[in-house]
Amino acid sequence: MEVTGEPIRVQSLLQSGISRVPPEYIQPPQNRPIQTDPDATIPVVDLFHFNTNHRESTREAIARACHEWGAFHVTNHGIPATLLDTVRRAGLAFFNECPMPEKLRYSCTAGAAASEGYGSRMLVSSEDEGNNTVSQVLDWRDYFDHHTFPLSRRNPNRWPNFTSDYRESVAKYSDEMKILAQKLLAFISESLGLRSSCIEDAVGDFYQNITISYYPPCPQPDLTLGLQSHSDMGAITLLIQDDVGGLQALKKGGESWVTVQPLSGAILVLLGDQTEIITNGKYRSCVHRAVTNPDRPRLSVATFHDPGKTVKISPASELITDSSPAKYRGVVYGDYVSSWYTKGPDGKRNIDALLLES
Ligand SMILES: O=C(O)CCC(=O)C(=O)O
Ligand SMILES: [Fe+2]
């Protein structure tokens, strides 16, 4: 998702032997990772392989997790552990072993938001409240973004083939994640008393992107963030990480960050802003960020499921009553995305702009 110029890869910066991070990566004091709440943990929901005998209790567990966190791990989700490992291994091989000149052949298009390929910068500058351009602090992260659904956007020839099974594995993973996202949205809809297809119908055909993020070790982790605080823009994100750890989430109404401890074999579900709008705020999108560490590179694979750019998202009519009026105005998804890229993620500022006066 490059926005201007040919950016510096964080990995190259590290390999140049620096012992201090350049000033553009230094977060203002209020955004630095200071401490986390050691007692709180993200809920774990057992999906029991979608066995109907467990549907009621799973639905209740999902309702609690969506209400309190907008994030939860799922186990017994039916995706083979070997597929999760293969995708992580393929991603790691690209970042760790592929020579930089070859990596650069896959660079994102400079100046185009959310373009496919190898990148480092989500945005270079953004606007403040007074529409003044401000420089963004840079994330300590490189990534590879794959366009995977609808199939008309999927062209594996644009993906690395550094390991011989890379393209095939990402395609297979994309198919499996789409099915899991559909099943989870059905559960989430039902948990609010809505028909199973309610949220999926509102989102329409998924636009799915898979972003593999690579966070090189950082010489000054106390001053930097691997990825700044944000909520995901779309409907639902499915994320796997390696065993290094570094993802943090905010509980609803919480002030302190909670580490999302890697849970072997589990998949993390993160609700995005469009699900918050469709559920009329009954479920909140999860604010999260990634921190860095001085010792080990970290890898995560995030699979985003978003509406098409022309789809208008509004609170589900079934959830609007006299006593529970619409909290958000409807928004065309493409406009929401443009505003995100102009203003920057900065917590939940973007979705808050849609709040109606109550
Ligand atoms: O690396 C992570 O764990 C978080 C990635 C993420 O939040 C994103 O790509 O939107
Ligand atoms: Fe995210």
Whole-number Å distance between alpha carbons of 41 and 56: 23
Are 3 and 111 contacting, i.e. CB atoms less than 8 angstroms apart? yes
Of 232, 229, 266, 260, the closest CA to residue 37 belongs to: 260
- Reported ipTM: the value is 0.99
Q: What is the pLDDT of residue 355?
A: 86
Q: What is the pLDDT of residue 83?
A: 98
- Does 241 sit in the ligand 1 pocket, CB within 6 Å? yes
Q: What is the pTM of this model?
A: 0.95
Q: What is the pLDDT of residue 132?
A: 66
Q: What is the pLDDT of residue 341?
A: 80
| Residue carrying structure tokens 């960020």 | 289
Q: Give the amino acid at 336.
A: Y
Length in residues, the chain = 358
Residue 7: cis peptide before it, omega within 30 degrees of 0: no
Q: What is the pLDDT of residue 342?
A: 78
Instruction: Phi first, then psi: give them for residue 12, nearest 5 degrees.
Output: -65, -40
Q: What residues sit around ligand 2, an ion, with C-beta below 5 angstroms?
A: 232
Binned average pLDDT, 10 residues per bin, the chain of 358 residues = 64 93 96 89 97 96 97 98 98 96 90 84 64 80 97 97 94 98 98 98 98 98 96 97 97 88 97 98 96 97 98 98 96 92 68 80
Are 280 and 319 contacting, i.e. CB atoms less than 8 angstroms apart? yes
Question: What would the DSSP string read from start to end of 20-31?
Answer: S--GGGPPPGGG
How much distance in Å is there from the Cα of 6 to the middle of ligand 1?
22
Mutate to test the pocket of ligand 1, among 122, 237, 300 (most ligand atoms within 8 A of CB): 300
- Does 300 sit in the ligand 1 pocket, CB within 6 Å? yes
Are 288 and 249 contacting, i.e. CB atoms less than 8 angstroms apart? yes
Whole-number Å distance between alpha carbons of 218 and 291: 10
Q: Which atom of ligand 1 is nearest to the CA of 270?
A: 7
How much distance in Å is there from the Cα of 201 to the middle of ligand 1?
26
Q: What is the pLDDT of residue 111?
A: 66
How much distance in Å is there from the Cα of 238 to the middle of ligand 1?
10
Q: Give the amino acid at 153.
A: R
Whole-number Å distance between alpha carbons of 349 and 340: 9
How much distance in Å is there from the Cα of 322 to the middle of ligand 2?
34
- Does 302 sit in the ligand 1 pocket, CB within 6 Å? yes
Q: What is the pLDDT of residue 3?
A: 41
Are 127 and 181 contacting, i.e. CB atoms less than 8 angstroms apart? no
